[in-house]
Amino acid sequence: MITRRKFLKYSLIGAAGMAVPTGLTVVHGGTPEEAKKKGLRWVFLVDTHKCVGCGLCVKACKQENEIPYDANVSRTWVERYVVTKDGKVHADSPKAARDGFTSPDIDEGHGHKRVIKPEDISKAFFVPKLCNQCENPPCVQVCPVGATYQAKDGVVLVDRTWCIGCGYCIMACPYGVRFFHPVYHTAEKCTFCYHRLGAGMKPACVDACPFGARRIGNLLDPNDPVTRIIEDERVSVLKEEYGTKPQVYYIGLSKEVK
């Protein structure tokens, strides 16, 4: 027979027990306010108005990060979108835009070129792409061996000695930024040039961009100019509906950009 006293006592213990997991996360993760005071969270800002499609960022990235120059893979690339007046969207990124866009013709692959008359264009622009260093990276969740992980400052890295090359992460990334390194045969991705960040420099693509279309900043520093723009101006991210919380912010995105 349960008495009222016992009922109340066990109810209280049960409720307290259920609160423990929440309490633990707070102790281990720290509150967002605490992190904001002293933390470091690398984020990227791309201005698609400023990008002219020169591809110097891709050239620099491949050489800086030792991605074989003629292999058709790249940690970063530039996409061209040409929207014609009939509402059709033409997009291409020949050789990841390593050599820039030097022809008005759209590369449709397999040697096909689509000629578009200038008077038919309603809007056209360039969109640089790179790893979004998501706050909730799905590529990391699926790794069965712990070879890819998120560092404290938000950058997602791949352990080349530990990767077994199963390719799950490449399938899991909604942005298609991962690929197999042609030499090491392990998963490869943009690291925001982790080695340069550590040395107080900016990523190679940021330095190489003559137009200031690519910028990097620390989201936890309220005085960082990039953070100011992300917080005070109109920016958007790619595929927000996936819940990955991407940390590459864009100015001037359009609905045609996937």
Question: With contact defined as beta carbons under 8 Å apart, do 45 and 251 qualify?
Answer: yes
Taking phi over 0 as left and psi of -120 to 50 as alpha, with beta for the rest, 212 belongs to left
Instruction: Tell me how far, at minimum, the Cβ of 166 lies from other proteins, in Å.
Output: 16
Give the nearer residue to other proteins in terms of CB position, either 12 or 35.
Answer: 35
CB nearer to other proteins: give 207 or 224: 207
Residues binding other proteins (CB under 8 A): 28-29, 48-56, 59-60, 63-66, 82, 99-104, 118, 121-126, 136-137, 140-141, 146-152, 157, 159-162, 191, 194-196, 198-199, 201, 204, 207-208, 210-212, 252
Place of tokens 């866009």: 101
Pick 179 or 192: Cβ nearer other proteins: 192
* Residue at token pair 């609160």: 19
- Side-by-side strand order, sheet with 248-251: 214-218, 42-47, 248-251
Distance CA 59, CA 61 (A): 6
Rounded to a whole number of angstroms, the minimum distance from the CB of residue 59 to other proteins is 8
Residue 147 beta carbon to other proteins: minimum distance, rounded to whole angstroms? 7
Return the number of the residue (78 or 248) whose C-beta is nearest other proteins.
78
CA distance 79 to 101: 10
Structure tokens at 32: 């967002």
Cβ proximity to other proteins: between 191 and 227 the closer is: 191
Residue 185 sits at φ, ψ, to 5 deg, of 55, 35
CB of 40 to other proteins, least distance (A): 11
